[in-house]
Structure 1
Amino acid sequence: MKAAGLLVACLSLLLLSGRAHAEALVLSLSNHRVQITSTWAGSDLVIFGVIDNDRRSVTRQEPYDVVVTAIGPRASTVVREKVRLGPIWMNLQQRKFFEVPITVAQISSRPIAAITAPDLRRRFGLGLEALLDPAGYDLIYDPSFRSALIRLQRNAGLYKTDERGVTFITPSIFRAIVPVPPTAPLGGYEVNVALYSGGVLLARESTNFEVSKAGFEQAVATAARQHPYLYGLATAAIALIFGWLATVIFRRD
Protein backbone atom coordinates (compact mmCIF):
# COMPACT_ATOMS: atom_id res chain seq x y z
CA MET A 1 0.00 0.00 0.00
CA LYS A 2 2.84 2.35 0.83
CA ALA A 3 4.50 1.65 -2.52
CA ALA A 4 1.21 2.26 -4.32
CA GLY A 5 0.84 5.59 -2.52
CA LEU A 6 4.32 6.62 -3.64
CA LEU A 7 3.50 5.75 -7.22
CA VAL A 8 0.27 7.78 -7.11
CA ALA A 9 2.16 10.76 -5.65
CA CYS A 10 4.80 10.50 -8.34
CA LEU A 11 2.17 10.43 -11.10
CA SER A 12 0.40 13.41 -9.52
CA LEU A 13 3.61 15.43 -9.62
CA LEU A 14 3.98 14.51 -13.26
CA LEU A 15 0.47 15.77 -14.12
CA LEU A 16 1.11 19.04 -12.29
CA SER A 17 4.40 19.75 -14.06
CA GLY A 18 4.09 21.98 -17.08
CA ARG A 19 7.70 22.43 -18.12
CA ALA A 20 8.75 22.28 -21.74
CA HIS A 21 11.45 19.64 -22.21
CA ALA A 22 12.35 16.55 -24.18
CA GLU A 23 12.61 14.22 -21.19
CA ALA A 24 12.54 14.90 -17.48
CA LEU A 25 12.43 12.82 -14.32
CA VAL A 26 9.85 13.05 -11.55
CA LEU A 27 10.92 11.25 -8.36
CA SER A 28 9.26 10.10 -5.15
CA LEU A 29 11.18 8.64 -2.20
CA SER A 30 9.50 6.46 0.42
CA ASN A 31 11.12 8.25 3.37
CA HIS A 32 13.23 11.36 3.71
CA ARG A 33 14.23 10.68 7.32
CA VAL A 34 15.77 7.44 8.61
CA GLN A 35 15.83 7.28 12.40
CA ILE A 36 18.34 5.07 14.19
CA THR A 37 17.42 3.38 17.47
CA SER A 38 19.27 0.84 19.61
CA THR A 39 17.62 -2.03 17.70
CA TRP A 40 18.07 -0.57 14.21
CA ALA A 41 19.65 -3.04 11.76
CA GLY A 42 19.57 -1.07 8.52
CA SER A 43 16.67 -0.35 6.20
CA ASP A 44 15.65 -0.03 2.57
CA LEU A 45 14.17 3.02 0.90
CA VAL A 46 12.02 2.73 -2.22
CA ILE A 47 12.32 5.31 -4.97
CA PHE A 48 9.80 5.63 -7.79
CA GLY A 49 10.49 7.58 -10.95
CA VAL A 50 8.44 8.69 -13.92
CA ILE A 51 9.97 9.65 -17.26
CA ASP A 52 8.07 12.74 -18.36
CA ASN A 53 7.84 13.05 -22.15
CA ASP A 54 6.23 15.97 -23.96
CA ARG A 55 5.47 16.46 -27.64
CA ARG A 56 9.00 17.72 -28.22
CA SER A 57 10.36 14.29 -27.29
CA VAL A 58 11.83 12.28 -30.12
CA THR A 59 11.18 8.58 -30.52
CA ARG A 60 14.11 6.69 -28.98
CA GLN A 61 15.52 3.79 -30.94
CA GLU A 62 17.18 2.42 -27.81
CA PRO A 63 15.46 1.59 -24.51
CA TYR A 64 15.87 3.79 -21.46
CA ASP A 65 18.54 3.09 -18.85
CA VAL A 66 18.39 4.44 -15.31
CA VAL A 67 21.19 4.76 -12.75
CA VAL A 68 20.39 5.60 -9.11
CA THR A 69 23.32 6.70 -6.94
CA ALA A 70 22.93 7.32 -3.20
CA ILE A 71 25.93 9.10 -1.67
CA GLY A 72 26.38 9.59 2.06
CA PRO A 73 28.49 12.03 4.09
CA ARG A 74 32.09 12.53 3.02
CA ALA A 75 35.32 12.24 4.97
CA SER A 76 39.04 11.95 4.36
CA THR A 77 40.60 8.54 4.82
CA VAL A 78 44.01 6.88 4.52
CA VAL A 79 44.69 3.53 2.84
CA ARG A 80 47.92 1.82 3.91
CA GLU A 81 49.82 -0.97 2.23
CA LYS A 82 51.11 -3.43 4.83
CA VAL A 83 53.93 -5.96 4.43
CA ARG A 84 54.87 -8.76 6.77
CA LEU A 85 58.43 -8.96 8.02
CA GLY A 86 58.59 -12.11 10.10
CA PRO A 87 56.00 -11.87 12.87
CA ILE A 88 55.55 -8.10 12.41
CA TRP A 89 53.30 -6.21 10.00
CA MET A 90 54.70 -2.88 8.82
CA ASN A 91 53.24 -0.01 6.79
CA LEU A 92 55.02 0.26 3.44
CA GLN A 93 53.09 2.95 1.54
CA GLN A 94 49.95 4.96 2.04
CA ARG A 95 47.58 7.19 0.10
CA LYS A 96 45.17 9.75 1.50
CA PHE A 97 41.76 10.24 -0.09
CA PHE A 98 40.16 13.62 0.49
CA GLU A 99 36.42 13.97 1.05
CA VAL A 100 35.38 10.60 -0.36
CA PRO A 101 31.86 9.25 0.29
CA ILE A 102 31.68 7.04 3.37
CA THR A 103 28.73 5.17 1.90
CA VAL A 104 27.69 4.63 -1.71
CA ALA A 105 24.83 2.62 -3.20
CA GLN A 106 24.62 2.55 -6.98
CA ILE A 107 21.68 0.77 -8.58
CA SER A 108 21.16 0.51 -12.32
CA SER A 109 18.80 -1.08 -14.82
CA ARG A 110 21.65 -3.07 -16.38
CA PRO A 111 25.46 -3.27 -16.07
CA ILE A 112 27.10 0.15 -16.07
CA ALA A 113 29.56 -0.87 -18.79
CA ALA A 114 26.63 -1.50 -21.15
CA ILE A 115 24.94 1.86 -20.52
CA THR A 116 27.49 4.37 -21.83
CA ALA A 117 31.10 4.82 -22.92
CA PRO A 118 34.05 4.83 -20.46
CA ASP A 119 34.74 8.57 -20.83
CA LEU A 120 31.13 9.42 -19.98
CA ARG A 121 31.19 6.99 -17.06
CA ARG A 122 34.16 8.84 -15.62
CA ARG A 123 32.57 12.21 -16.32
CA PHE A 124 29.23 11.41 -14.69
CA GLY A 125 30.49 9.16 -11.87
CA LEU A 126 29.10 5.86 -13.08
CA GLY A 127 30.74 3.00 -11.23
CA LEU A 128 32.58 3.08 -7.92
CA GLU A 129 35.93 3.73 -9.59
CA ALA A 130 34.56 6.84 -11.30
CA LEU A 131 33.13 8.16 -8.03
CA LEU A 132 36.61 8.14 -6.45
CA ASP A 133 38.19 10.83 -8.59
CA PRO A 134 42.01 10.61 -8.86
CA ALA A 135 42.07 14.39 -8.37
CA GLY A 136 41.27 13.71 -4.72
CA TYR A 137 44.54 11.93 -4.03
CA ASP A 138 47.40 13.50 -2.14
CA LEU A 139 50.20 11.76 -4.08
CA ILE A 140 50.80 10.22 -7.50
CA TYR A 141 47.74 8.33 -8.66
CA ASP A 142 47.94 4.58 -8.05
CA PRO A 143 44.82 2.57 -8.99
CA SER A 144 45.72 -0.22 -6.56
CA PHE A 145 44.99 2.05 -3.58
CA ARG A 146 41.64 3.07 -5.04
CA SER A 147 40.79 -0.60 -5.57
CA ALA A 148 41.85 -1.34 -2.00
CA LEU A 149 39.60 1.42 -0.64
CA ILE A 150 36.64 0.11 -2.63
CA ARG A 151 37.32 -3.43 -1.40
CA LEU A 152 37.52 -2.31 2.23
CA GLN A 153 34.30 -0.32 1.98
CA ARG A 154 32.55 -3.21 0.25
CA ASN A 155 33.65 -5.61 2.97
CA ALA A 156 32.29 -3.19 5.57
CA GLY A 157 28.94 -3.10 3.76
CA LEU A 158 29.29 0.62 2.99
CA TYR A 159 29.75 0.40 -0.80
CA LYS A 160 27.06 -1.53 -2.66
CA THR A 161 26.15 -1.96 -6.30
CA ASP A 162 23.22 -3.68 -7.99
CA GLU A 163 23.36 -3.75 -11.78
CA ARG A 164 19.83 -5.13 -12.11
CA GLY A 165 18.24 -3.22 -9.26
CA VAL A 166 16.18 -0.71 -11.27
CA THR A 167 12.92 -2.27 -12.44
CA PHE A 168 10.73 -0.75 -15.14
CA ILE A 169 7.06 -1.15 -14.22
CA THR A 170 6.09 0.38 -17.57
CA PRO A 171 8.32 1.85 -20.30
CA SER A 172 8.20 5.20 -18.47
CA ILE A 173 7.81 4.23 -14.79
CA PHE A 174 10.57 2.61 -12.74
CA ARG A 175 11.37 1.73 -9.15
CA ALA A 176 14.52 0.90 -7.20
CA ILE A 177 15.45 -0.04 -3.65
CA VAL A 178 18.13 2.08 -1.96
CA PRO A 179 19.80 0.17 0.91
CA VAL A 180 20.84 2.00 4.07
CA PRO A 181 23.38 -0.22 5.90
CA PRO A 182 23.31 -0.61 9.70
CA THR A 183 26.72 1.07 9.89
CA ALA A 184 25.58 4.11 7.87
CA PRO A 185 26.93 7.36 9.35
CA LEU A 186 24.63 10.11 10.53
CA GLY A 187 24.01 13.01 8.20
CA GLY A 188 22.54 13.96 4.86
CA TYR A 189 22.41 11.63 1.86
CA GLU A 190 21.93 12.67 -1.75
CA VAL A 191 20.15 10.42 -4.24
CA ASN A 192 21.00 11.19 -7.86
CA VAL A 193 19.01 9.61 -10.68
CA ALA A 194 20.24 9.73 -14.28
CA LEU A 195 18.35 8.73 -17.43
CA TYR A 196 20.22 7.41 -20.47
CA SER A 197 19.33 6.07 -23.89
CA GLY A 198 21.75 4.83 -26.51
CA GLY A 199 24.66 5.86 -24.30
CA VAL A 200 23.48 9.49 -24.13
CA LEU A 201 22.53 11.30 -20.92
CA LEU A 202 18.96 12.59 -21.31
CA ALA A 203 17.99 13.87 -17.88
CA ARG A 204 19.10 14.05 -14.26
CA GLU A 205 17.20 14.66 -11.05
CA SER A 206 18.02 14.36 -7.36
CA THR A 207 16.38 13.99 -3.99
CA ASN A 208 17.72 13.43 -0.49
CA PHE A 209 17.20 11.87 2.91
CA GLU A 210 18.75 12.16 6.36
CA VAL A 211 19.97 9.54 8.81
CA SER A 212 19.58 10.65 12.43
CA LYS A 213 19.30 9.21 15.92
CA ALA A 214 15.97 8.75 17.67
CA GLY A 215 14.72 7.92 21.15
CA PHE A 216 17.16 7.68 24.06
CA GLU A 217 20.20 7.85 21.75
CA GLN A 218 18.99 11.14 20.32
CA ALA A 219 18.29 12.55 23.79
CA VAL A 220 21.83 11.72 24.93
CA ALA A 221 23.38 13.18 21.77
CA THR A 222 21.31 16.36 22.09
CA ALA A 223 22.25 16.77 25.76
CA ALA A 224 25.95 16.31 24.97
CA ARG A 225 25.76 18.91 22.22
CA GLN A 226 23.58 21.55 23.89
CA HIS A 227 24.75 21.18 27.51
CA PRO A 228 28.32 19.82 27.36
CA TYR A 229 29.29 20.84 30.91
CA LEU A 230 26.19 19.34 32.53
CA TYR A 231 26.62 16.24 30.37
CA GLY A 232 30.22 15.89 31.53
CA LEU A 233 29.24 16.30 35.20
CA ALA A 234 26.43 13.76 34.84
CA THR A 235 28.77 11.28 33.16
CA ALA A 236 31.37 11.70 35.91
CA ALA A 237 28.69 11.31 38.61
CA ILE A 238 27.37 8.11 37.03
CA ALA A 239 30.91 6.72 36.81
CA LEU A 240 31.49 7.48 40.51
CA ILE A 241 28.20 5.85 41.50
CA PHE A 242 28.95 2.68 39.55
CA GLY A 243 32.46 2.61 40.97
CA TRP A 244 31.11 2.88 44.51
CA LEU A 245 28.52 0.16 43.86
CA ALA A 246 31.24 -2.12 42.51
CA THR A 247 33.31 -1.70 45.67
CA VAL A 248 30.26 -2.42 47.84
CA ILE A 249 29.24 -5.52 45.90
CA PHE A 250 32.68 -7.07 45.52
CA ARG A 251 34.34 -6.01 48.76
CA ARG A 252 35.59 -8.70 51.09
CA ASP A 253 34.36 -8.72 54.65
Structure 2
Amino acid sequence: MRRLAAPLMLLLLVLAGGDARSAEMVLSLSKARVTITSNFTGDTIVLFGVIDPGEAARPAPQDVIVTVRGPSESFTTWRKERFLGIWVNVDSRSFLAAPSYLAVLASRAPELIASPETLRREQAGLDNNRLLQRIGSDYADVVPQDPFRQAFLRVKQAQGLYFERPAGVEFIAPNVFRATIPIPGTAPVGAYEVVVKTFADGTPVSRGTLSLEVAKIDFEQTVATAAQDHPWLYGLATALAALGVGFMANVAFRRD
Protein backbone atom coordinates (compact mmCIF):
# COMPACT_ATOMS: atom_id res chain seq x y z
CA MET A 1 0.00 0.00 0.00
CA ARG A 2 2.85 2.39 0.83
CA ARG A 3 4.47 1.65 -2.53
CA LEU A 4 1.34 2.98 -4.26
CA ALA A 5 0.83 5.91 -1.90
CA ALA A 6 4.27 7.45 -2.47
CA PRO A 7 4.03 7.76 -6.29
CA LEU A 8 0.44 9.02 -5.91
CA MET A 9 1.60 11.68 -3.46
CA LEU A 10 4.34 12.73 -5.87
CA LEU A 11 1.86 12.95 -8.73
CA LEU A 12 -0.39 15.21 -6.68
CA LEU A 13 2.57 17.44 -5.78
CA VAL A 14 3.59 17.69 -9.41
CA LEU A 15 0.07 18.60 -10.49
CA ALA A 16 -0.04 21.24 -7.74
CA GLY A 17 3.10 22.93 -9.10
CA GLY A 18 6.59 23.49 -7.71
CA ASP A 19 8.07 20.64 -9.74
CA ALA A 20 11.00 20.20 -12.10
CA ARG A 21 11.01 17.98 -15.18
CA SER A 22 13.85 16.65 -17.29
CA ALA A 23 14.13 13.85 -19.81
CA GLU A 24 14.98 11.37 -17.05
CA MET A 25 13.42 12.69 -13.81
CA VAL A 26 10.42 14.41 -12.27
CA LEU A 27 11.11 16.22 -8.98
CA SER A 28 8.89 17.93 -6.46
CA LEU A 29 9.20 19.53 -3.01
CA SER A 30 6.58 19.26 -0.29
CA LYS A 31 6.71 23.06 -0.21
CA ALA A 32 8.85 25.56 -2.05
CA ARG A 33 8.84 28.35 0.57
CA VAL A 34 9.84 28.33 4.24
CA THR A 35 8.63 31.32 6.26
CA ILE A 36 10.48 32.52 9.35
CA THR A 37 8.55 34.12 12.21
CA SER A 38 9.55 35.06 15.76
CA ASN A 39 8.98 31.50 17.04
CA PHE A 40 10.69 29.71 14.14
CA THR A 41 12.88 26.83 15.33
CA GLY A 42 13.34 24.97 12.08
CA ASP A 43 11.42 23.14 9.40
CA THR A 44 11.63 20.05 7.23
CA ILE A 45 11.19 19.84 3.46
CA VAL A 46 10.56 16.53 1.71
CA LEU A 47 11.90 16.02 -1.80
CA PHE A 48 10.22 13.42 -4.02
CA GLY A 49 11.68 12.15 -7.27
CA VAL A 50 10.68 9.74 -10.03
CA ILE A 51 13.32 8.29 -12.36
CA ASP A 52 12.33 7.40 -15.91
CA PRO A 53 11.88 3.58 -15.96
CA GLY A 54 13.87 3.40 -19.19
CA GLU A 55 16.90 4.83 -17.39
CA ALA A 56 16.32 2.93 -14.15
CA ALA A 57 16.39 -0.45 -15.92
CA ARG A 58 20.19 -0.42 -16.26
CA PRO A 59 22.23 -3.41 -15.02
CA ALA A 60 23.83 -1.36 -12.25
CA PRO A 61 21.58 0.03 -9.48
CA GLN A 62 20.69 3.70 -9.53
CA ASP A 63 22.26 6.04 -6.96
CA VAL A 64 21.06 9.52 -6.08
CA ILE A 65 22.93 12.46 -4.58
CA VAL A 66 20.99 15.57 -3.53
CA THR A 67 22.87 18.81 -2.88
CA VAL A 68 21.15 21.83 -1.34
CA ARG A 69 22.99 25.16 -1.44
CA GLY A 70 21.91 28.32 0.34
CA PRO A 71 22.65 31.96 -0.57
CA SER A 72 26.32 32.78 -1.15
CA GLU A 73 28.36 34.64 1.46
CA SER A 74 31.99 35.52 2.23
CA PHE A 75 33.74 34.03 5.24
CA THR A 76 37.22 34.37 6.78
CA THR A 77 39.05 31.71 8.76
CA TRP A 78 42.05 32.50 10.95
CA ARG A 79 45.05 30.49 12.09
CA LYS A 80 46.18 31.19 15.64
CA GLU A 81 49.58 30.70 17.24
CA ARG A 82 50.74 31.12 20.82
CA PHE A 83 52.91 34.22 21.30
CA LEU A 84 54.23 35.31 24.72
CA GLY A 85 51.60 33.20 26.44
CA ILE A 86 48.60 34.43 24.44
CA TRP A 87 46.92 33.22 21.26
CA VAL A 88 47.08 35.65 18.36
CA ASN A 89 45.88 35.55 14.74
CA VAL A 90 48.83 35.02 12.41
CA ASP A 91 47.25 34.07 9.09
CA SER A 92 43.85 34.05 7.40
CA ARG A 93 42.01 32.89 4.30
CA SER A 94 38.87 34.39 2.80
CA PHE A 95 36.23 32.16 1.24
CA LEU A 96 34.33 33.93 -1.52
CA ALA A 97 30.75 33.19 -2.59
CA ALA A 98 30.57 30.12 -0.35
CA PRO A 99 27.15 28.59 0.30
CA SER A 100 25.73 29.81 3.59
CA TYR A 101 23.93 26.44 3.84
CA LEU A 102 25.16 23.19 2.30
CA ALA A 103 23.44 19.83 2.69
CA VAL A 104 24.41 16.62 0.91
CA LEU A 105 21.97 13.70 1.00
CA ALA A 106 22.80 10.45 -0.78
CA SER A 107 21.44 6.95 -1.25
CA ARG A 108 24.77 5.69 0.12
CA ALA A 109 28.21 7.09 0.86
CA PRO A 110 29.37 9.17 -2.16
CA GLU A 111 32.76 7.41 -2.29
CA LEU A 112 30.87 4.17 -3.01
CA ILE A 113 28.87 5.74 -5.84
CA ALA A 114 31.57 7.01 -8.21
CA SER A 115 35.30 7.62 -8.55
CA PRO A 116 36.94 10.54 -6.74
CA GLU A 117 37.49 12.32 -10.06
CA THR A 118 33.82 12.00 -11.02
CA LEU A 119 32.62 13.13 -7.60
CA ARG A 120 34.94 16.13 -7.72
CA ARG A 121 33.80 17.09 -11.20
CA GLU A 122 30.13 16.75 -10.25
CA GLN A 123 30.60 18.43 -6.84
CA ALA A 124 28.96 15.40 -5.26
CA GLY A 125 29.72 15.18 -1.55
CA LEU A 126 30.64 17.68 1.14
CA ASP A 127 34.39 17.45 0.50
CA ASN A 128 33.88 17.75 -3.26
CA ASN A 129 31.97 21.03 -3.33
CA ARG A 130 34.08 23.91 -4.63
CA LEU A 131 34.93 26.54 -2.02
CA LEU A 132 36.78 29.39 -3.68
CA GLN A 133 39.52 30.96 -1.55
CA ARG A 134 41.49 34.15 -1.92
CA ILE A 135 45.17 33.28 -1.43
CA GLY A 136 47.14 36.50 -1.67
CA SER A 137 46.30 37.88 -5.10
CA ASP A 138 45.12 34.50 -6.44
CA TYR A 139 41.75 32.76 -6.29
CA ALA A 140 41.57 28.96 -6.16
CA ASP A 141 39.75 25.95 -4.78
CA VAL A 142 42.27 23.96 -2.76
CA VAL A 143 42.53 20.28 -1.86
CA PRO A 144 40.04 18.90 0.71
CA GLN A 145 42.86 18.45 3.28
CA ASP A 146 43.70 22.17 3.31
CA PRO A 147 43.66 23.27 7.01
CA PHE A 148 41.76 26.49 6.33
CA ARG A 149 39.12 24.62 4.34
CA GLN A 150 38.82 22.04 7.13
CA ALA A 151 38.46 24.82 9.72
CA PHE A 152 35.75 26.47 7.62
CA LEU A 153 33.83 23.18 7.36
CA ARG A 154 34.15 22.54 11.10
CA VAL A 155 32.67 25.95 11.93
CA LYS A 156 29.77 25.48 9.53
CA GLN A 157 29.08 21.95 10.75
CA ALA A 158 29.12 23.13 14.36
CA GLN A 159 26.50 25.73 13.40
CA GLY A 160 24.35 23.01 11.83
CA LEU A 161 24.52 24.67 8.41
CA TYR A 162 26.79 22.14 6.65
CA PHE A 163 26.22 18.38 6.83
CA GLU A 164 26.31 15.17 4.82
CA ARG A 165 23.98 12.19 5.26
CA PRO A 166 25.08 9.07 3.33
CA ALA A 167 21.66 7.42 3.89
CA GLY A 168 19.62 10.59 3.36
CA VAL A 169 17.95 9.38 0.14
CA GLU A 170 15.48 6.50 0.38
CA PHE A 171 14.02 4.51 -2.50
CA ILE A 172 10.34 3.91 -1.62
CA ALA A 173 9.66 2.14 -4.92
CA PRO A 174 11.99 0.86 -7.67
CA ASN A 175 11.98 4.21 -9.49
CA VAL A 176 10.72 6.55 -6.75
CA PHE A 177 12.88 8.15 -4.06
CA ARG A 178 12.54 10.74 -1.35
CA ALA A 179 14.87 12.79 0.80
CA THR A 180 14.21 14.87 3.91
CA ILE A 181 15.89 18.28 3.92
CA PRO A 182 16.17 19.87 7.39
CA ILE A 183 16.06 23.66 7.57
CA PRO A 184 17.55 24.75 10.94
CA GLY A 185 16.32 27.71 12.92
CA THR A 186 19.53 29.55 12.04
CA ALA A 187 19.07 29.07 8.29
CA PRO A 188 19.93 32.24 6.30
CA VAL A 189 17.12 33.82 4.32
CA GLY A 190 17.26 33.87 0.55
CA ALA A 191 17.08 31.60 -2.48
CA TYR A 192 18.23 27.99 -2.15
CA GLU A 193 19.08 25.60 -4.99
CA VAL A 194 18.28 21.89 -4.80
CA VAL A 195 20.36 19.84 -7.26
CA VAL A 196 19.58 16.15 -7.80
CA LYS A 197 21.99 13.87 -9.68
CA THR A 198 21.58 10.18 -10.46
CA PHE A 199 24.40 7.74 -11.11
CA ALA A 200 24.57 4.29 -12.65
CA ASP A 201 27.69 2.14 -12.43
CA GLY A 202 29.70 5.17 -11.32
CA THR A 203 28.58 7.32 -14.28
CA PRO A 204 26.32 10.41 -14.05
CA VAL A 205 22.98 9.69 -15.72
CA SER A 206 20.64 12.62 -15.12
CA ARG A 207 20.41 15.96 -13.38
CA GLY A 208 17.50 18.07 -12.11
CA THR A 209 17.17 21.28 -10.11
CA LEU A 210 14.53 22.91 -7.94
CA SER A 211 14.29 26.28 -6.19
CA LEU A 212 13.56 26.74 -2.50
CA GLU A 213 13.05 30.04 -0.69
CA VAL A 214 13.58 30.85 2.97
CA ALA A 215 11.98 34.19 3.85
CA LYS A 216 11.06 36.29 6.85
CA ILE A 217 7.51 37.61 7.04
CA ASP A 218 5.42 40.14 8.97
CA PHE A 219 7.20 42.07 11.76
CA GLU A 220 10.47 40.13 11.40
CA GLN A 221 10.74 41.09 7.74
CA THR A 222 9.97 44.74 8.55
CA VAL A 223 12.72 44.87 11.18
CA ALA A 224 15.23 43.08 8.94
CA THR A 225 14.50 45.41 6.02
CA ALA A 226 14.82 48.51 8.22
CA ALA A 227 18.14 47.30 9.64
CA GLN A 228 19.51 46.71 6.15
CA ASP A 229 18.17 49.80 4.38
CA HIS A 230 18.53 52.33 7.23
CA PRO A 231 21.28 51.05 9.58
CA TRP A 232 21.91 54.39 11.34
CA LEU A 233 18.22 54.99 11.98
CA TYR A 234 17.79 51.40 13.13
CA GLY A 235 20.74 51.72 15.53
CA LEU A 236 19.41 55.00 16.95
CA ALA A 237 15.92 53.54 17.43
CA THR A 238 17.41 50.49 19.18
CA ALA A 239 19.48 52.66 21.53
CA LEU A 240 16.48 54.86 22.38
CA ALA A 241 14.33 51.79 22.99
CA ALA A 242 16.97 50.38 25.37
CA LEU A 243 17.14 53.68 27.26
CA GLY A 244 13.34 53.76 27.48
CA VAL A 245 13.18 50.25 28.91
CA GLY A 246 15.89 51.08 31.42
CA PHE A 247 14.07 54.24 32.53
CA MET A 248 10.78 52.39 32.97
CA ALA A 249 12.48 49.63 34.92
CA ASN A 250 14.10 52.21 37.20
CA VAL A 251 10.73 53.84 37.85
CA ALA A 252 8.94 50.57 38.46
CA PHE A 253 11.49 49.04 40.85
CA ARG A 254 12.91 52.01 42.76
CA ARG A 255 12.53 51.76 46.54
CA ASP A 256 11.94 55.39 47.60
TM-score over 0.5 for the alignment? yes
SS in 2 for 1:183: coil
Q: Is the 8 A contact 1:9 1:28 kept in 2?
A: no
Contact 1:48 1:174 in 2 (8 A): yes
What TM-score do you get using the length of structure 2 for normalisation? 0.82
Which residue of structure 2 aligns with residue 63 of structure 1? 61
Q: Is 1:158 equivalent to 2:155 in the alignment? A: no
2: CA distance, partners of 1:144 / 1:158: 19
CA-to-aligned-CA distance 1:209-230 (integer Å, 9 cap, x gap): 1111134322433455678788
Structure 1-normalised TM-score?
Answer: 0.83
- C-alpha change, 1:236 and 1:157, in structure 2 (3 Å) is closer
Give the aligned CA root-mean-square deviation in angstroms. 3.1
- Residue type at the aligned position of 2:129: L
Q: Deviations over 1:88-144 (max 9, x none)?
A: 1111221111111111110000110011111111111112222134x5443474712
2:200 is equivalent to residue 201 of structure 1: no
Q: Which of residues 232, 242, 246 in structure 1 aligns to 2:245?
A: 242
Of stretches 111-120 and 87-96 in structure 1, the one that deviates more from structure 2 is 87-96
% identity of equivalent residues: 41
Count residues in correspondence. Answer: 244
| Alpha-carbon contact 1:6-1:30 (below 8 Å) kept | no
The answer to whether the 8 Å contact 1:132/1:146 transfers is: no
Larger mean Cα displacement after TM superposition, 36-45 or 227-236: 227-236
Gaps of 5+ in 2: none
- Give the aligned residue type for 2:203: V
Q: Go from structure 1 to structure 2 and tell me whether the alpha carbon gap of 1:107 and 1:58 turns closer, same or farther (over 3 Å shift).
A: closer
Look up the match of 1:117: 115
Gaps of 5+ in 1: none
Structure-2 change in CA distance of 1:59 and 1:221 (3 Å): closer
Q: Is the 8 A contact 1:46 1:175 kept in 2?
A: yes
Asked whether the 8 Å contact 1:67–1:194 carries over to 2, the reply is: yes
Which deviates further from its counterpart, 147-156 or 233-242?
233-242
